[in-house]
Amino acid sequence: MKFQIEEKREDLGERRSQLQIYADILRLIQKRGGLVKPTHILYGANLSHARLTKHLSWLLGKNFIIEDLSSGHKMYRLTPKGKAFIDEFKKIEEFSDAFGVPV
């Protein structure tokens, strides 16, 4: 898996890697109880609609999230695999930061 593309984080003026964006989206879903509407992700993750669609389809493809239509609306649910990714990412991010090399 390679995630070389970087995007601008507008609020902080920093650049975050694609990997960080995936982790941010998953953390956002986790923070909101593991089930969210797409609009909540859109505002929370600070992404354009086009980019969000692209990222969500990648996360769906990896089974980190699944679509949930039980409430009548399209919502996204965090899977155990997605939760495991968040935990693993936190560890590697901490390890990388310890050496001063961003993820």
Partner 1 sequence: MVTQIIPMRFYGFDTMIYLIGAIICLLIAYKATKLHSYTGKKQHFYLAAAFTIMGISLATLTLTTAYTYYNMFYLGNSIYFFDQFFNMDDLGFWVYYLGAFVAYGLLVLMYTPELGKSGKFAPFIFAPTVLFSAHYFEYFNIVLFLMMAYVAFRASVNYFMKKSRPALLVAAGFVLLAAYHAIMPFAAFDKTLYVVAHGAHITGYASLLLMLLSTDKK
The CA distance from 73 to 87, in Å, is: 29
Does residue 5 interact with partner 1 by CB under 8 A? no
Contact region with partner 1 (CB under 8 A), list: 30-38, 39-47, 69-77, 87-95: 87-95
Measured from the CB atom, the residue of 71 and 91 that comes closer to partner 1 is 91
What does the buried/exposed string (b/e) look like for 24-45 if buried means 16 or more CB atoms within 10 Å of the residue's CB? bbbbbbeeeebebeeeebbebb
Q: Which of residues 19-38 bind partner 1 (CB under 8 A)?
A: 19
Query: Considering only residues 1, 12, 50, 69, which one is a binding residue for partner 1 as defined by CB under 8 A?
Result: 1
**Whether 80 contacts 34, CB under 8 Å:** no
In terms of Cα–Cα distance, which of 39, 64, 59, 52 is closest to 7?
52
Binding residue count for partner 1, defined by CB under 8 A: 19
Binding site for partner 1 (CB under 8 A): 1-4, 17, 19, 89-92, 94-101, 103
